Amino acid sequence: DAKTTQPTSMDCAEGRAANLPCNHSTISGNEYVYWYRQIHSQGPQYIIHGLKNNETNEMASLIITEDRKSSTLILPHATLRDTAVYYCIAHPEPQGGSEKLVFGKGTKLTVNP
């Protein structure tokens, strides 16, 4: 898996967009970018993943730069419940085997009232 770099922590005001950056400058062509989040003392939760194109689902949007060396997870209207550690992971497309995801330290996002 390519190494990913994220800021240690970020703050966001409630109701505003939270933009979480991730650098993955050594990402290879077959590696997807996955985002998970972990609310305190719970198991991580899958958010979104993408390869080249921008992706959007009910939870978030994922913007991947054209050179794929970085990406941004966007929570459009952050709420207090979005306070969590957010993990960015670069991982090859599953080939039918089990997926050994590498979770780094992530970004601690604090949404303030």
Phi and psi at residue 26, in whole multiples of 5°? -100, 15
Question: Nearest CA to 19 among 27, 10, 28?
Answer: 10
30 lines the binding site for other proteins (CB under 8 A): no
Specify the 3-state DSSP secondary structure of 67. coil
Give 42 or 53: the residue with its C-beta nearer to other proteins. 42
Total residues binding other proteins (CB under 8 A): 25
Give 14 or 110: the residue with its C-beta nearer to other proteins. 110
Interaction with other proteins in 42-61: which residues (CB under 8 A)?
42-46, 49
H or E element, residue 92: strand 84-92
**Using CA atoms, how far apart are residues 101 and 46, in angstroms rounded to an integer?**
12
Give 13 or 56: the residue with its C-beta nearer to other proteins. 56
DSSP code for 76: T
Which of 66, 67, 94, 113 binds other proteins (CB under 8 A)? It is: 94
Site of interaction with other proteins (CB under 8 A)? 32, 34, 41-46, 49, 87, 91, 93-106
